[in-house]
Amino acid sequence: MHTVVVGTADVTASDVLAVARDDARVDLSAEAVAALAAAREIVDALAAKPDPVYGVSTGFGALATRHISPELRAQLQRNIVRSHAAGMGPRVEREVVRALMFLRLKTLCSGRTGVRPEVAQAMADVLNAGITPVVHEYGSLGCSGDLAPLSHCALTLMGEGEAEGPDGVVRPAGELLAAHGIRPVVLREKEGLALLNGTDGMLGMLVLALADLDLLYKSADVTAALSMEALLGTDKVLAPELHAIRPHPGQAASAANMLAVLDGSGLTGHHQDDAPRVQDAYSVRCAPQVAGAGRDTLAHARLVAERELAAAVDNPVVLPDGRVESNGNFHGAPVAYVLDFLAIAVADLASIAERRTDRLLDKNRSHGLPPFLADDAGVDSGLMIAQYTQAALVGELKRLAVPASADSIPSSAMQEDHVSMGWSAARKLRTAVDNLTRVVAVELYAAARAVELREGLTPAPATREVLKALREAGVGGPGPDRYLAPDLAAAETFVRDGRLVAAVERVTGPLR
């Protein structure tokens, strides 16, 4: 099994994916253990002083004005976890919970939070045991950290609440800890607060989305190329010299991908045949410009994620010179903005893909293809309602593109009077990514059928490889009407698990 070693810095997106999706083992480096111990000495020294220190010897949020006596501080830390574990709604996906736990562990190991080494080790033990705390959809405003989600995770460390075992069964957390030989953590000063005061949930979902969208943007380049081919369009608009004079790197990459897919096609360049046209429609001709802008948005979001992965988010934070200072680094605005930005790019990519699908199905614009790609139009409806489904998905994506980060609802008696809504931005982006996968799958399904209906013309070698792999995956080709949902589901899986891109790359080599 792959092992991720957590030090005081340098956790990567690949590490997050390995732990969240592949159940990689997590170990603490000796450097991290030493940093944890050194920071804890500072917190213990402050706890012994009579002066109040936020998070160590005071209440929290709007209750920070109360100085807490030493005999009540352990109860204070337990209480903040119990009271903040107030999420509601459906359970959050296992990979998201593992990502946010791992990212919180990363910050603990930075030596900036003041928790004891055994607290960090307990979190690593829970991850390694395959125990997943039950975290709910609602409860985070994306400021002061993803409080409720992280609190449900901290509750599991205490042996309280519910969690899912490696067998997928939800049981009391205490039972699961005992079954795996993990002792519940008894929290001390600062530790309850440190476990729940970070942007780890929204960051984890950003990292997961970036990985998914990297594959989806390549997939969308492939389906755009197949649609151009099926519509007998011209690939001259993909020439590198045209994209060099508008030097957006994402645009150049998308055009290069499409050109690679279409290399050797016998279908492109027939736009002057039976129904001559000087230019292809925008949805075909401008595919690299739209997908490329989305790719550049991904690059910006990746930069933000890398910065956040390098951060140690907590309040208060233990500084290298020994000071323990309050700060506002837990505010989720940097992450929330790019999560919303990605949702906008996703909606537009889906929108242009749907327009190409509609063009493939319209006999007045498809340049010789049968209505709705039907076998016997009138008797057969063909892919008419597949496009309806795609249009419904695009409509939902447009609604999901409304920014969550433009909203703010004051909380904690106006102490937390401006919040990021970053968790909400991340949750809707996950839905958007799923729906984009389905939109791309419908375009693939339609374009593949349309290419096969172009009798007498030979598609590109990469296209032929896609058609072969698609049919081997159980996705049916042209013919009379049949129960369509299973075909569309199989096409969705074919896109989601990377087989579409893999089929192309067997011919073209790696796409950009």
Residues 6+ apart with CB under 8 A from 229: 262, 265, 267, 268, 447, 451, 459, 460, 463
Q: Which of 463, 469, 477 is nearest to 494 (CA)?
A: 469
Q: Which of 54, 217, 337, 483 is catalytic?
A: 54
DSSP string, 432-486: HHHHHHHHHHHHHHHHHHHHHT-TT-PPPHHHHHHHHHHHHTT---SSS----HH
Burial class (CB in 10 A: 0-12, 13-18, 19+), 483: exposed
Asked if 373 and 450 count as a contact pair (C-beta separation under 8 A), the reply is yes
> By C-alpha distance, which of 387, 423, 386 is closest to 404?
423
Q: How far apart are CA 14 and CA 4, in angstroms?
A: 10
* DSSP code at position 352: H
CA 389 to chain centre: 23
**3-state DSSP: the chain helix, strand, coil percent, rounded to 5?**
55, 5, 35
Query: Which of 485, 470, 393 shows the shortest CA–CA distance to 433?
Result: 393
- In the residue annotation, 337 being an active-site residue is answered as no
**What are the CA-CA distances from residue 447 to residues 30, 366, 395, 511 (Å)?**
55, 11, 21, 20
108: left (phi over 0), alpha (psi -120 to 50) or beta: alpha
User: What secondary structure letter does DSSP report for 247?
Assistant: -
Q: Where in the sequence numbering do the catalytic residues fall?
A: 54
